[in-house]
């Protein structure tokens, strides 16, 4: 029962263009969503998050959009840079006395020069 | 001055053995976690401790026993290792009492032969 899904295992984008990574969830109780970035042989690092009371959050080149009715969120990276090449994980949570993150299976983003 | 460190980074062992993975964080966080990333790349939470108290215990075989000697350390002991335990195990930490980003360690790749 995978509550958070990233249906694209990989994505290839030209440097300077926009990268769009997608994530779908099934549990309507989730009220907070996060994106993590992971390089090989390293742990995931936090990138950006959004609360369910918002539909957009922006931080520099990174913007996350949330469509609650569609249970869908997306991460936009613009302009894409070679250093953005990594695996991106979408995660969702609902705080019930403890923070339990539910992760998607990740999307490998490759930025081509 | 690594924020979240794990030892060892690689662990190769035979079925039936008992092994431990250690985790330490120097961020002053009061909550620590263990995640398992299986062969399909899903990151799934196993345990969470807050101030040495177990607060999340997912459906994990009781061969896995976390131990938190203090709030900066969370170790994972695995008894009677099985082939299916082969995975990458990540430790993480965060503040408690709300939704805060989790800081991950570099991971321990466990291979059971």
Q: What is the CA radius of gyration of chain B?
A: 13
Residue A72 near residue A22, CB atoms below 8 Å: yes
pLDDT at res. B97:
76
pLDDT at res. B1:
63
* Chain centroid to CA A57: 12
Q: Is the pLDDT of residue A95 over 80?
A: no
DSSP line for A42-82: S--EEEEEEETT-SEEEETTEEEEEETTTTEEEEEESS--G
For residue B62, the distance in angstroms to the closest alpha carbon of chain A comes to: 20
pLDDT at res. A47:
97
Mean local confidence (pLDDT), A104-110: 96
Q: One digit per residue, pLDDT tens: chain B, 113 residues?
A: 679 999 999 999 999 999 999 999 999 999 999 999 988 888 999 999 888 888 888 878 999 999 999 989 999 999 999 999 999 999 999 988 777 889 999 999 999 99
Count of A–B CB contacts within 8 Å? Answer: 58
Q: Which helix (H) or strand (E) segment is B7 a member of? A: strand B4-7
Rounded to whole angstroms, the Cα distance separating A105 from A71 reads 17
Residues shown for chain B: 113
pLDDT at res. B55:
85
Q: Is the pLDDT of residue A96 over 90?
A: no
Rounded to whole angstroms, the Cα distance separating A110 from A108 reads 7
Q: Do A43 and B4 touch (CB under 8 A)?
A: yes
Residues shown for chain A: 113
* DSSP three-state, residue A22: strand
* Chain centroid to CA B15: 20
When CB atoms are compared, the residue of B55, B90, B106 closest to A98 is B55
When CB atoms are compared, the residue of A43, A44, A100 closest to B56 is A100
Q: Do A41 and B103 touch (CB under 8 A)?
A: no
Q: Do B99 and A42 touch (CB under 8 A)?
A: no
Best residue of B7, B37, B99 to probe chain A, by most A CBs closer than 10 Å? B99
For residue B16, the distance in angstroms to the closest alpha carbon of chain A comes to: 27
Q: Are strands B53-57 and B43-50 parallel, antiparallel or unpaired?
A: antiparallel
- A35-80 pLDDT tens trace: 999 999 899 999 999 999 999 999 999 999 999 999 999 999 999 9
* DSSP three-state, residue A9: coil
**Cis peptide before B8, with omega less than 30 degrees from 0?**
yes
B1 at A interface, C-beta within 8 A: no
- Which residue has tokens 């053995």? B17
Q: Do B48 and A49 touch (CB under 8 A)?
A: no
């Amino acid at each position: 029962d995978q509550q958070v899904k990233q249906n694209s295992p990989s994505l290839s984008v030209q440097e300077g263009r926009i990268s769009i990574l997608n994530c779908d969830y099934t549990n309507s109780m989730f009220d907070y969503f996060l994106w993590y970035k992971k390089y090989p042989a390293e742990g995931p690092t936090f990138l950006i998050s959004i609360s369910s009371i918002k539909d957009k959050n922006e931080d520099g080149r990174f913007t996350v959009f949330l469509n609650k009715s569609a249970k869908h969120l997306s991460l936009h990276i613009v302009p894409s840079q070679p250093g953005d090449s990594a695996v991106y994980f979408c995660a969702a949570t609902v705080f019930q006395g403890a923070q339990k993150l539910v992760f998607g299976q990740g999307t490998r983003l490759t930025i081509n020069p | 001055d690594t924020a979240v460190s794990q030892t060892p980074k690689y662990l190769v062992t035979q079925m039936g053995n008992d092994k431990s993975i250690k985790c330490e964080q120097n961020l002053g966080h009061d909550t620590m976690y263990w995640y398992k990333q299986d062969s399909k790349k899903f990151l799934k939470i196993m345990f969470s401790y807050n101030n040495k108290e177990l607060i999340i215990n997912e459906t994990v075989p009781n061969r896995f026993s976390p131990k938190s000697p203090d709030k900066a350390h969370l170790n994972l002991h695995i008894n009677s290792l099985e082939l299916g335990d082969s995975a990458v195990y990540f430790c993480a930490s965060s503040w408690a009492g709300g939704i805060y980003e989790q800081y991950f360690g570099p991971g321990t790749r466990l291979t059971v032969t």
